[in-house]
Chain A
């Protein structure tokens, strides 16, 4: 199972919007609406931000949103804030209880 493809880095200024892509295959992202996104600050455990492509857990800001088209999922963060600076990982269900993660994207808030 190959890792999902994410850009290594993205950046944006406070208040702007950014989008992180996550490209898989018809065996994972394209076949299931079971993509989730995780935020990870340095030295911390990942935190769930989006699940089932578009849903936000309780307590996660509505500035975070998710979408999917074909084999590519996307995470959009609007109204960028300094505390959004972190690494972001997508994850897809890949059948028979398995998961595959993306390589991660480092978000820099300028």
Chain B
């Protein structure tokens, strides 16, 4: 069965960086793009970007351009999302999710989420 398993919770200081992982299993890793979506406490979902596990190409939301980097490791079927220059407003649960159809599909499978807390 398709599974996306994310790394554990993180606590970071303002100005630091965080790198969250998302390990895929149950399907051919390089066939499906992966999105990253975040959710601040009590708030809605916010799309951050998408990565192609095959070639590594990316597309980021304008809001995160210059601060986010999405990468992948095909040897371990893992994608990564690194967010730099953290501030308190980046405190959120970060989700990875699989795109069902190239880059235009729905997000059909989700990871369990990773809580990132930014606090001095």
A: residues with CB less than 8 A from B are 1, 3, 32, 34, 36, 38, 40, 45-48, 51-52, 57, 87, 89, 91, 93, 96-104
Contact = CB atoms under 8 A, between A and B. Distances in A.
Nearest to B58: A97
A96 B59 contact: yes
B11 interface: no
Contacts of B61: 1, 98
B59 A102 contact: no
25 contacts: A1-B61, A32-B104, A34-B106, A36-B106, A38-B107, A45-B95, A45-B112, A45-B113, A46-B95, A46-B110, A48-B106, A48-B108, A51-B105, A52-B106, A87-B44, A89-B44, A91-B47, A91-B107, A93-B104, A96-B59, A97-B59, A97-B103, A98-B47, A98-B50, A104-B44
Nearest to B6: A45
Nearest to B46: A101
B110 A101 contact: no
A3 to B, nearest CB: 7
Interface string B88-116: 00000001010010011111101111000
Interface residues of B, number: 24
A34 B44 contact: no
A57 B61 CA distance: 27
B23 to A, nearest CB: 15
B3 to A, nearest CB: 12
B4 to A, nearest CB: 9
Contact of A51 (B33, B106, B110, B112): B106
